[in-house]
Structure 1
Amino acid sequence: MKIIQIGTGGWGKNHTRILSQLGVLSAICDTDLKKSKEYGEKYSVNYYDSLDELLKSEEFDGAFVVTPTSTHTQITKKLLEAKKHVFVEKPMTYKSEDGEVLAKLAEKNKVILTCGYIERFNPAVDVVKKLVKEKKFGDLVMLEFHRENRMPLHIKDVGIIYDTSVHDIDTANWLFDDMPHVVFARAGKIRHEHEDFASIMLGYKDDKVAIISSNWITPKKLRKFNAVCTDAIISSDFISQEITVEKDEENETIQNEKQEPLLLEIKSFLGAIEGKNEHIVKAQEAVNVTKIAEAALLSSLKGIPIYLDLK
């Protein structure tokens, strides 16, 4: 299998490392030729500063698009038109209507289009998903997410909702196995040109709720979530991948093997290309996350709940 990568920025370098480790990386493309050359030489693959040039010169099966959000639509469209399987880093597009167009194009050309919602592949989330599905601790009624960190300097084109909160929006949808019908949010900015702190409430059927708190203000990196069930609270840390269960009389620690989520995510995409029945984020699910993020920004702007009808 041959895989190309477009974009080698702050997060993209991790994709390059893993794709090279797996022996599938065949070419690199970055508009910064110096960076493209650096990674091309480091991993002994062809390198380009033009996607058109790469498409003319290379034969490949799939592509990773790890570029700024504002460029995703144009790049992904070219790759889908060339009938290539595409993995786009989150969020899939800045506007949900662009995502709808890409999802339809992928379906028409019978290729895979997926999006990098990495927490789906976090072993801790996988364990919590199984516990919830089995109703081991009763019914899941509420999810609480907390993500805090200093503002990343390389994120310029979007605020914290599109960059950070989207992870928890997708994870909430995944754990509830449902889409919210109402969104209410408050957000503001202190140091960034877009919002750098936000609190989002997602309402699901049967009064189930997800509360998502994200900020780029606090100095400490924190990524945790709680799954509130009728018989216990399951708490987990996205970073350490530790899971604890608080019940009436006792606390229980659930043991699980720590693994790199990005490696698992990339392997799933490669397996899907090979026709294996792998779990991947469906294109429409990624479009829905963007619709929810749009609704959160609109809710914060207008100070009202936004009602959605997501498929």
Structure 2
Amino acid sequence: MIPHRDKHVAVIGCGYWGKNLVREFAQLGVLRIICDSSQQILQDLKTKYDVEAVSDFAKILAMQDVHAVVIATPAPTHASLAVQALAAGKDVFVEKPLALTLEDALLIEAAAFKSNGILMVGHLLEYHPALVKLRALVAEGKIGKLRYIYSNRLSFGKVRTEENVLWSFAPHDICSILGFVGKLPVSVQAVGSANLGKVEDFCLVNLEFEQIKAHIFVSWLHPFKEQRLVVVGDSGTLVFDDVSVDAKLTLYDQQAELQDNIPVLKLNSKIVIPLEAASPLTLECKHFLSCVESRETPLTSVKNGIDVLTVLQSAQESLKSSGKAVYLKEVQVVNG
């Protein structure tokens, strides 16, 4: 077991998102070393957090006092770095997406199995107090039987060039929706376009499950920020609005029924649900450290990452074929 107080964590990739992970693990008192290709980034963070900084990943793999590696590099590098770290006996926290192909994801899974290492995927939203509470309310039957789920993740920037908006934004929402339904969709459809460069900057994804439907809208060319998840049941609706300051989770007690063959809508109440005041990123990082110490399977495990990647890859295939439906029974996945 690795006590939380020991400095045993290395963060690989300290740029746009990685610097936040550096901050969290430093504040938790476990940051041993950081690694990045930019000397300027390394110097800035080395000074700010009084931490050792290197540009050579191989050096970290050889360090006996580094037991856990956090990977926040560009998505195309995730698979290679994760496999190397696992082979070196390290536990791994890899940012989403787990990989860019199912083949690479399965290689990571095999490496984790062989090394008996912890492999956690950075699906941050799963640790958000609002989503945790939302899941609990759905499980309690507060909105009745699920009918429909949709998610909007929209903003004006940051525009990426390594990955399109589907791969950058949608993993959060795919992961959330799969968690509610408990299984992969029957089919996936996706449409979008590249308006500024070579990668799509907006995308609409339709997911068809056996009992319900869901859709995801993602864009980084939207005039204002919106991060909203709506879960509709037959007796109510739950809305998770992550942009809202004082109403992140709202329960609408509402019903739609037929009276004399005429649809009648009833809104009985609207309740803002109180939530724990905690940072999702802090909770996520603490969960990883807990799994490293206890050897328990993370909430967002490699299987979770493979399921999300299965949907992502199917959506990408549909996107390339101008929205043709991709049926997942035709996608070969072996995730344990």
Please state which band the TM-score falls in when normalised by the shorter chain: over 0.9
**Structure with the bigger percentage of strand:** 2
Pick from 300, 305, 309: which aligns with 2:319? 300
1:219 aligned counterpart, secondary structure: strand
Is the aligned partner of 1:252 residue 2:271? yes
Q: Unmatched 5+ residue regions in structure 2?
A: 1-5, 255-265
**Structure-2 residue corresponding to 1:50:** 56
How does 1:1-311 map onto structure 2 within 5 Å?
1=6, 2-57=8-63, 59-153=65-159, 155-206=160-211, 208-240=212-244, 242-246=248-252, 247=254, 248=266, 249-275=268-294, 277=296, 279-302=298-321, 303-309=323-329
2: distance between equivalents of 1:150 and 1:220? 6
Query: 1:39: Cα distance to partner?
Result: 1.3
CA-based RMSD: 1.6
What is the identity percentage for the equivalent residue pairs of Structure 1 and Structure 2? 27
Provide TM-score, normalisation by structure 1: 0.95
Task: Give the conservation status (yes or no) of the 8 Å contact 2:121–2:301.
Answer: yes
Residue 238 (structure 1) shift: 2.2
Distance in 1, Cα, partners of 2:271 & 2:162: 42
CA contact (8 A) 2:225 2:243 kept: no
How far is the alpha carbon of 1:55 from its aligned partner?
2.4
Partner of 2:261: none
The more displaced of 74-83 and 248-257 is: 248-257
What amino acid maps onto 1:306 in structure 2?
V
Kept in 1, the 8 Å contact 2:202–2:220? The answer is: yes
Paired residue type of 2:229:
F
Q: Distance in 2 between matches of 1:282 and 1:196?
A: 28
Instruction: Tell me the distance in 1 between the aligned counterparts of 2:196 and 2:289.
Output: 39
* Residues 55, 41 of structure 1: alpha-carbon distance in 2 compared, 3 angstrom cutoff: farther
* Runs of 4+ deviating beyond 6 Å: none
Q: Computing the radius of gyration over CA atoms, which structure comes out larger, 1 or 2?
A: 2
Give the conservation status (yes or no) of the 8 Å contact 1:226–1:233.
yes
Is the CA contact (8 Å cut-off) linking 1:92 and 1:290 kept in structure 2? Answer: yes
Q: Deviations over 1:59-101 (max 9, x none)?
A: 2110100000011111111101001100001101111210111
User: Do the aligned residues in 1 keep the contact of 2:143 with 2:232 (CA within 8 Å)?
Assistant: no
The one-letter amino acid paired with 1:305 is A
Name whichever of 296-305 and 102-111 sits farther off.
296-305
CA deviation profile, 1:155-212 (whole Å, cap 9, x unmatched)? 2210000000111011101122222121011111111320111110111222x11110
CA contact (8 A) 1:186 1:198 kept: yes
Change (3 A) 1:102 1:210: same
Distance 2:127 2:173 in 1: 13
Give yes or no for contact 2:78–2:99 (8 Å, CA) kept in 1.
yes
Q: How many pairs does the alignment contain?
A: 309
Instruction: Return the alpha-carbon distance in structure 2 between the equivalents of residues 177 and 145 of structure 1.
Output: 17
Q: Do the aligned residues in 1 keep the contact of 2:119 with 2:298 (CA within 8 Å)? A: no
| Cα deviation code 1:135-158 (max 9, x no counterpart) | 1221122111011111214x2210
Task: Give the drift of 1:57.
Answer: 4.1
State the one-letter code of the partner of 2:327: Y
Counterpart amino acid of 1:156? Answer: T
Task: Please state how far the C-alpha of 1:244 moved relative to its aligned partner.
Answer: 1.3
Gap runs ≥5 in structure 1 = none
Comparing 130-139 with 275-284, greater Cα deviation is found at: 275-284
- Secondary structure (helix, strand or coil) at the match of 1:227 reads strand
